[in-house]
Amino acid sequence: MAYALQQLINGVTLGMIYGLIAVGYTMVYGIIGMINFAHGDVFMIGSFLSLIALLGLSALGITSVPLALALTLLFAAAIAALYGWTVERIAYRPLRGSFRLAPLISAIGMSIVLQNFAQVSQGARSKPMTGLIPGGFGLTIEGFTVQLSYVQISIVATTLSMLALFTWLVTRTSLGRSMRACEQDLKMAGLLGIDTDRTISLTFVIGAALAAVAGLMFLLYYGVIDFYIGFIAGVKAFTAAVLGGIGSLPGAVLGGLAIGLIETFWSAYFSTQYKDVAAFSILIIVLIFMPTGILGRADVEKV
């Protein structure tokens, strides 16, 4: 019972991170009908940017943890947003209107470029970081102590605030309305005077910024990153987006939670070694039996 509660806490924390990444996949898919395979790598870049910022801030003598985290979040989100913008500009926009597989191939290429860039510039070995937010709450039930760490609380709180901010943006602001208009009918959006290219760029920018926040959360949670985390986390977040119904924003978050929970419970009760296999198997099963996902719409397929 207590053990399961512990897994629930861990699973939700992890699931929030996946959900934050999944939002980026689902947004881009919604608007241009393309899977941005480089998105996971932008997440990885965001994680490295966070590490660099944290080390830099500590070298500058900033000791306040909340201040350091806030500055790191802004820095990583801003620079990752620039990456997102650049990826769209050089790898996808020139291919708009060409055959369907072209941007997909370009996306895979972009993913490889980013991975190699990180590997060459940061080295192939894992980068550890000492725990920035130690401690937490402990509750002993039936001889088992359930841990709720401050890191987990921070991750869930930050992720929820990001999602709230993002939901407000999409549902209440003019930019959000333009994004939804482009998602529902790109051509009509143009006919109403919306700069559709700019709106698509901003979608990439926002998705990348959210991924960078996820990158920071990942770094805080695991305390170690390498150039390959983008691929693994990317595939899981993509699975989350598909599971939730690609194109659906609440679906992405729900899918993320589901994947986080499945992965955690799987590791806890079956095998840690096969935890990634579990996520990938789910992807395949969902794609075969439930291609529109939990909250997906049948009409989401772009022509």
Partner 1 sequence: MTALLSLAGVTAYYGAIQALKGVDVEVNEGEIVTLIGANGAGKSTLMMTICGSPRARDGRITYDGQDITQLPTHLIMRRDIAQSPEGRRIFPRMSVYENLLMGAHGRPAAEASETMEQVFGLFPRLRERRLQRGGTLSGGEQQMLAIGRALMSRPRLLLLDEPSLGLAPLVVRQIFGAIRELNRTTGLTVLLVEQNAFQALRLAHRGYVLVNGAITMAGTGADLLARPEIRAAYLEGGH
Contacts of 91 (CB under 8 A, 6+ apart): 38, 103, 106, 107, 109, 110
∠ CA 50-34-183, nearest 5°, is 95
Q: Decide whether 161 or 184 has the Cβ nearer to partner 1.
A: 184
Q: Decide whether 176 or 223 has the Cβ nearer to partner 1.
A: 176
Q: How far is the CB of 200 from partner 1 (least distance, A)?
A: 12
C-alpha dihedral over 178, 182, 183, 188, to 10 degrees?
120
Query: Using CB under 8 A as the criterion, which residues of the chain lie in contact with partner 1 when the complex forms?
Result: 174, 177-178, 180-181, 184-185, 187-196
Q: Decide whether 97 or 143 has the Cβ nearer to partner 1.
A: 97
Q: Decide whether 115 or 248 has the Cβ nearer to partner 1.
A: 248
Q: How far is the CB of 20 from partner 1 (least distance, A)?
A: 23
Q: Give the span between the Cα atoms of 269 and 44, in whole angstroms.
A: 29
Q: Decide whether 125 or 187 has the Cβ nearer to partner 1.
A: 187
C-alpha dihedral over 278, 280, 281, 286, to 10 degrees?
120
E strand segments, the chain: 127-128, 136-141, 144-149, 224-225
Q: How far is the CB of 177 from partner 1 (least distance, A)?
A: 6
Q: How far is the CB of 22 from partner 1 (least distance, A)?
A: 20
Q: Give the span between the Cα atoms of 197 and 179, in whole angstroms.
A: 11
What residue type is assigned to position 17 of the chain?
I
Q: Decide whether 145 or 184 has the Cβ nearer to partner 1.
A: 184
Q: What is the DSSP letter of 273?
A: T
Q: How far is the CB of 183 from partner 1 (least distance, A)?
A: 9
Q: How far is the CB of 32 from partner 1 (least distance, A)?
A: 16
Q: Give the span between the Cα atoms of 70 and 76, in whole angstroms.
A: 10
